[in-house]
Structure 1
Amino acid sequence: MKIRSWLEDQRHLFWVLHLGGWAAWGLIGKYGLTRAMLGEVAPHYAAYVGVITVIGIVLTLGLRILYHRVWKSPLWVQAITFLGGSYLAGYAWMRCRGYIYYNWLETAKDVEAWMERLGDAAEVYQKVSFVESHLSGLSVMLAWSALYFAIKYYRIFQEVRESALKSAAMAHEAQLKMLRYQLNPHFLFNTLNAISTLILEQQTELANRMVTRLSSFLRYSLDNDPMLKITLKQELKALQLYLDIEKVRFEERLNLELMIDDDAQDALIPSLLLQPLVENSIKYGIARAEDGGTIRIGAKVFAGDLLIQLSDDGPGVDLVDGEIPEAKGVGLRNTRERLFELYGSQHSFRLSETDPHGLTISIRIPCEKR
């Protein structure tokens, strides 16, 4: 883990790739390949390879400084610097290699004696040396430069991609929070109106009880992060806080029936998912019925999904293609949008008529547990 975190630093990663790449070239690309082709190498050839590898390391460090200076320049400037820098570095490297080989590590007498021992292979060696003297320096420097630019642009692409993902995640989170918090003012407006009515009718005890329960519900609402999911069991407890408030208004006219399977109790759902749906049932169902009514909530797990059904026996509404025409409330719309933001195509939200009258809301979401 320490090695991985150490390599995440760009400077550390550069030195690992830089020194590792040159070491591989020296050991395999130069010394190993030459020995494999000829079967034997000149005296002190290993030392020669080591020296020219170090020179290559120094020259490419100079290229790194040059490329760093033109990094923010126009693309055509970078292209010219890429080609020109690679050519000059390759030319300088080959001149150094020739001078070192023939004037320092090997004398003319040693080279001549070694050529005689090679026999027919000496001609192959001369051809290899000729091609190498003209192409090796430039090709190696071009390859190093190409890798340098490729890695730099790849890291920029990764940073832009990570930034875009973070922005999308922040927008997604902001959207969810907006939808969740948009419910509270709607509910708060209705509750304050009810408290105001109770005060005007001088029912101070009921008004005080309603304010206390409202405080408990809002505290619960604000303490729960809308980005987190809670168990259905916890959601029903929160729903009971809301119903305690509505009970002050409707008393015995409001009834709740729960049919929750045991394996659905621990299923995770978005916090305060059911409250706006129950509020909708009370507003358009129970409140419009002279004798009130009953709200039924059922939940079960089936085929890896959590199925939730909420129904009331109010007067109901006329549905058109499974939608309430000209509906202006925010509860159903926000719930639908929250589910879409969280689950995408892996959910369903459907409205239907309750038999013999009323409205039924059916929700299907993936069954998740802690």
Structure 2
Amino acid sequence: MKQAVQLRNVRKTYGDVEVIKQVSLSIDEGEFIAFVGPSGSGKSTLLRMVAGLESVTDGEILIDGKDVTFAEPSDRGIAMVFQSYALYPHMNVYDNIAFNLKLSRHSKSEIEKRVNEAARILRLEELLQRSPGQLSGGQRQRVAIGRAIVRNPRVFLFDEPLSNLDAALRVQMRLEIGRLHAELGATMIYVTHDQVEAMTLADRIVVLNNCEIQQIGKPMELYQRPRNKFVASFIGSPNMNFFPAQVSRSDATSSTLKLADATLDAALANRAMGESITLGVRPEAVVVLADRSDAAGGVVIEGKVVGVERLGNVNYAYFDVGQSEPVTAQIAGTTDLGVGDTALLGIDPARCHYFDGAGEALRVGN
């Protein structure tokens, strides 16, 4: 597979402050890559370095095999879509989309051909004579994307393009961007703080924290096999539950962990006595039990309901189990639980994730 973008040991510093720490990454042609992470993780800075809007302190950036580390943005073969749309209010939709082509002195016929094709792809044909002030937020964002499409870029760059839209429009635009990627087959790099956007759109996700890559993988790979506690907590909505535990017994095949008033047998071999282990459990793996006999060998913890999110067929209940953060359980919409109720929560050891004292994942069966 041809590589569209390569980052080789890329660093960025502002004085003594390192904001990107030796990032290396290869992106295949036609791949949709999402950069995710909390505010300050470096994701937007990394995207702007690819775009040429931020300088590189060390390392190399290649696009289609060409070193563009110090090239001007206009010479990189990229097109960028910003969250602010950046449309010219005095121009209609047609002229906004055509603006860069006119600057590049394309012929009138070529401009008309490209603008009409972009309008077809984005379903903007009926809006070409309207001004930006007559458009909805979602329509404005489609115009901004159209302005990128007509340039026939090697790589599309999206910097949190949906953050200004309401919830319903974000869902609609996610579908539009996914359809656009499928139709164009283009290489896309998409920055977002919303892991739901990343999970639904990306072929692979790059998770950043503290200005460095924590893990790269397909969405379900990150969900099912997070490399560390940070990735486990960031990927997935609602967040993963965590329980502090200590090793009370260990041999060559398994360990017994003590947590709260319960014990759990895990396939963790040769752990140190007293070692701190964190259990991670997804909300769908926390089961509300009728009584202790339903636990089938798993851990049973008693909790008090402190909140319920009623979403219809699936609800989420939040339980106080005596630790700093409540425990989240996914429950059926028909489950009759309310604030103040107590319940028994069952946890299956086979569905747990385990992390050492440094937050690194421990693979069961190691």
TM-score grouping bracket, smaller chain normalisation? under 0.3
- The TM-score with structure 2 as length reference comes to 0.26
Q: Which structure has greater helix proportion? A: 1
Higher RCO by CA contacts (8 Å cutoff, separation 6 or greater): 2
The structure whose residues are more often strand, as a share, is 2
TM-score w.r.t. length of structure 1: 0.26
Bigger Rg, structure 1 or 2: 1
